[in-house]
């Protein structure tokens, strides 16, 4: 939860007090201590103290505590060996060296030491001379620190980062919470400056129905990427704008939703240290309303799409849309989903140029489009024979004054198998596995599939989503055997499958029938998980080639683990490569669209409850180029109340290494 530096003073009304002294007071005398607190300070139960020895000075209206002192005023918890509590006009002053925690237990290695504190319940605390320590070694010092619960207005912890090519960045902010009909909402206003002369403003809004983040980054003279966008303006190299907003609200069958993923300006792309965000080609934003009537949902709204990193105020394609969606079961064992959508778009700039068949065509234009996306899955049995059929198709059509065009893609698969299952009875030493025995399934199978993609790419830059990043047709037939063993209740299994068959050529490489071999290994276990798919096609009047997709986890998901991923295509066209590795009909992010091998690896090591380290790297093996690298250290106290994170990263297209420090507090204990 957000912790804050202060902004408001809390005045506690004085109460009458009477003299009382208690010595050698222990936990079983807690009621007596509460009486002293109420008589001395009028805390009404908001402050509770415990100690081995307690003395009450009626004249000074103070309480002196010694030996294993605990002062609890949630969400803050103070610990000390000797401390004196007295009333001030700001709250209850704790005079004496101590430590701060944000839950009832106080752990290591992360602690906050202080020389004096003022407790202002509910939910406020002022520390004098606080020091953040790791295993007793000071790493951060402030002359004072005013903290508030996230239900109160206050300042946010400072932001400190070394941002590689941008230099040192320091910032802070304010937290503005409120309640609306009992629901908690908050607005965080942040700002900061680069030592080289730039600045950042950041606004974040959190409500029960959504989250919004708007960030403006300006750094004059900073290195900005050259974006390969026809007609892109170059006057925004110093400015960047990020908008990340999403949410939905529903009532009486009506839903209103919004979603925006936008990074504008060449500075915006250069400033982000996240590789995935910098690599996305499009900015997209949409707002819509939907009404459900039985299995049908009617939706209408407005969409905007433009090239990522373009001019701050440029919108290359935008317009209204309407859609009908439906999903459900139409017969026993057959499920379906379908979407039909249509709209009108105004395109300009790079979008008009990219959509044009004959250059130049960068003048504003209007395009009407329609899209359909339908899928179905059916499965049944005929005695020992199991059969399944799946199909999915999608297409766009578009028309405007000068031209028209369309895109289409589809995939279908028929599978026949004879599953032979055997269950192994648990041993007497494993009675708890009686309802979840080990099951071994051996299944000879035969498959026939086809993947097709073609079109003009007319809507590649528009909300209709283009399908023609690859083009061709790839029919495949094969037969083989799959062997699976596991416990289905635990969802733990190991599968091995091998098959041989033929590929019948695609429009891209019409080379006749070519033999192929396919294999798949997958595992879902407590300490191991992953999947490897590989296919090899033998040349027969055409080139030989292969495609490999792999994902691997070694180690428990909550323990030390190695994570790897790999994608490779060599010697075969992208349509066939995707058909052999069971993809969706639309290729996301250039998936297997280019020959070569790319991959990544990561290592996460929790060194116990206190320390976790991680590192990772992504690379293009074909070009021998580093795509991205990252590393992080996370330190927590034993109750995970205080967490210190130090992270570093480097990505392609951004010089230097980015390093940032974050301090998180969990105050809901």
Express each pLDDT in 373-399 by its tens digit. 999 999 988 888 999 999 988 888 877
Instruction: Name the E strands within 267-384.
Output: 282-293, 296-307, 317-331, 334-347, 365-382
CB 659 within 8 A of CB 647: yes
Using CA atoms, how far residue 275 sits from 133, 269, 272, 287, 537, in Å, is 33, 10, 8, 27, 33
pLDDT at res. 37: 55
Work out the pLDDT band at 150, boundaries 50, 70, 90. Answer: confident
- Measured distance CA(594)–CA(361) in Å, rounded: 28
- Measured distance CA(197)–CA(210) in Å, rounded: 34
What number is the average pLDDT over the span 456-462?
56
**What DSSP assignment string belongs to 114-129?**
EEEEEE-SSSEEEEES
List the structure tokens of 156: 């946010």
- Measured distance CA(345)–CA(633) in Å, rounded: 47
DSSP lists the bridge partners of residue 2 as none
- Measured distance CA(458)–CA(368) in Å, rounded: 11
pLDDT at res. 225: 62
Statement: residue 422 has pLDDT above 60: yes
DSSP, res 654? S
Statement: residue 266 has pLDDT above 50: yes
* pLDDT tens figures, 556-594: 888 899 999 998 888 887 778 777 776 666 655 455 667
Biggest alpha carbon–alpha carbon distance for the chain: 103
Residue 423 three-state SS: strand
- Domain residue extents for the chain: 27-158
pLDDT at res. 424: 82
Phi then psi for 181, rounded to 5 degrees?
55, 40
Residues 6+ apart with CB under 8 A from 65: 49, 51, 53, 54, 71, 80, 82, 83, 84, 85
- Measured distance CA(5)–CA(599) in Å, rounded: 44
Most confident of the ranges 6-20, 72-86, 107-121, 620-634:
620-634
Residue among 608, 632, 660, 635 nearest 111 (CA): 635
Identify the helix (H) or strand (E) that includes residue 35.
helix 30-41
What number is the average pLDDT over the span 86-102?
80
pLDDT at res. 584: 63
- Measured distance CA(322)–CA(635) in Å, rounded: 50
- Measured distance CA(313)–CA(157) in Å, rounded: 32
- Measured distance CA(556)–CA(375) in Å, rounded: 36
* pLDDT tens figures, 276-321: 888 787 888 999 999 998 889 999 999 988 888 888 888 888 889 9
- Measured distance CA(568)–CA(586) in Å, rounded: 18
What does the mean pLDDT of the chain come to? 79
- Measured distance CA(115)–CA(96) in Å, rounded: 6
Identify the helix (H) or strand (E) that includes residue 34.
helix 30-41
Name the class of domain 27-158.
Answer: mainly beta
3-state helix vs strand vs coil in the chain, percent to 5: 5, 60, 35
Q: Among the listed ranges 54-58, 81-85, 337-341, 475-479, which one has the minimum average pLDDT value? A: 54-58
Residue among 448, 494, 471 nearest 575 (CA): 471
Using CA atoms, how far residue 160 sits from 101, 170, 644, in Å, is 22, 5, 12
- Measured distance CA(456)–CA(397) in Å, rounded: 10
DSSP lists the bridge partners of residue 368 as 344, 399
- Measured distance CA(147)–CA(125) in Å, rounded: 5
């Amino acid at each position: 939860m957000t912790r804050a530096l202060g902004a408001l003073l809390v005045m506690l009304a004085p109460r009458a007090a009477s003299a009382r002294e208690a010595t050698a007071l222990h936990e079983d005398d807690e009621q007596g201590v509460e009486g002293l607190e109420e008589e001395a300070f009028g805390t009404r139960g908001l402050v509770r103290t415990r100690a081995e020895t307690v003395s009450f000075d009626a004249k000074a209206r103070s309480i002196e505590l010694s030996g294993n002192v605990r002062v609890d005023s949630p969400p803050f918890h103070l610990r000390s060996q000797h401390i004196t509590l007295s009333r001030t006009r700001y709250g209850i002053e704790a005079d004496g060296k101590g430590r701060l925690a944000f839950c009832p237990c106080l752990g290591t290695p992360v602690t906050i030491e202080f020389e004096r504190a003022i407790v202002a319940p509910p939910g406020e605390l002022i520390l004098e001379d606080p020091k953040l320590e790791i295993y007793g070694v000071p790493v951060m010092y402030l002359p004072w620190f005013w903290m508030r619960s996230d239900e109160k207005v206050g300042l946010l912890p400072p932001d400190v980062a070394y941002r590689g090519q941008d230099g040192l960045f320091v910032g802070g902010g304010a937290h503005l919470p409120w309640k609306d009909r009992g629901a908690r909402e908050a607005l965080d206003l942040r700002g900061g400056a680069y030592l080289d002369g730039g600045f950042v403003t950041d606004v974040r809004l959190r409500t029960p129905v959504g989250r919004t983040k708007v960030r403006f980054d300006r750094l004059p003279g900073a290195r900005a990427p050259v974006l390969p966008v026809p007609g892109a303006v170059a006057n925004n190299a110093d400015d960047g704008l990020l908008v990340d907003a999403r949410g939905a609200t529903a009532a009486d069958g009506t839903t209103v939703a919004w979603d925006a993923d936008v990074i504008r300006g060449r500075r915006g792309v250069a400033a982000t240290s996240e590789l995935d965000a910098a690599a996305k080609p499009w900015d997209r934003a949409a707002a819509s309303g939907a009404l459900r009537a039985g299995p049908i949902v009617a939706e209408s709204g407005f969409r905007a799409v433009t090239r990522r990193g373009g001019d701050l105020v440029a919108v290359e394609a935008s317009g209204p849309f309407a859609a009908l969606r439906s999903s459900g079961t139409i017969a026993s064992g057959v499920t379906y989903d379908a979407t039909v959508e249509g709209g009108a778009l105004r395109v300009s700039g790079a979008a008009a140029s990219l959509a044009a068949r004959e250059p130049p065509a960068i003048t504003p234009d209007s395009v009407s489009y329609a899209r359909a996306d339908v899928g179905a899955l059916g499965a049944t049995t005929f005695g020992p024979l199991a059969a399944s059929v799946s199909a999915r198709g999608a297409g766009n059509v578009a028309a405007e004054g000068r031209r028209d065009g369309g895109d289409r893609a589809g995939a279908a698969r028929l599978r026949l198998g004879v599953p032979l299952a055997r269950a192994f009875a648990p041993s007497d030493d494993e009675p708890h596995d009686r309802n979840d025995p080990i099951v071994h399934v051996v299944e000879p199978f035969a498959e026939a599939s086809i993947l097709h993609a073609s079109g003009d790419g007319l809507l590649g830059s528009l909300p209709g989503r283009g399908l023609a990043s690859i083009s061709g047709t790839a029919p495949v037939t094969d037969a083989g055997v799959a062997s699976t063993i596991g416990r289905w209740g635990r969802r733990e299994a190991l599968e091995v499958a091998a098959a041989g068959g033929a590929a019948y050529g695609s429009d891209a490489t019409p080379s006749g029938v070519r033999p192929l071999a396919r294999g798949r290994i997958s595992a879902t276990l407590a300490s191991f998980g992953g999947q490897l798919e590989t296919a090899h096609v033998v040349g027969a009047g055409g080139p030989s080639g292969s495609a490999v997709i792999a994902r691997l986890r070694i180690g428990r998901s909550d323990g030390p683990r190695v994570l790897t991923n790999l994608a490779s295509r060599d010697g075969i066209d992208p349509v066939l490569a995707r058909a052999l590795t069971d993809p969706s009909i639309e290729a996301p992010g250039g998936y297997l669209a280019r020959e070569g091998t790319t991959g990544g690896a990561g290592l996460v090591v929790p060194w116990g409850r206190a320390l976790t380290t991680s590192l990772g790297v992504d690379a293009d093996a074909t070009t021998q180029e580093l795509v991205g690298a990252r590393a992080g250290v996370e330190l927590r106290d034993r109750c995970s109340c205080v967490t210190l994170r130090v992270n570093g990263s480097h990505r392609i297209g951004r010089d230097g290494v980015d390093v940032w420090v974050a301090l998180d507090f969990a105050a809901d204990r």
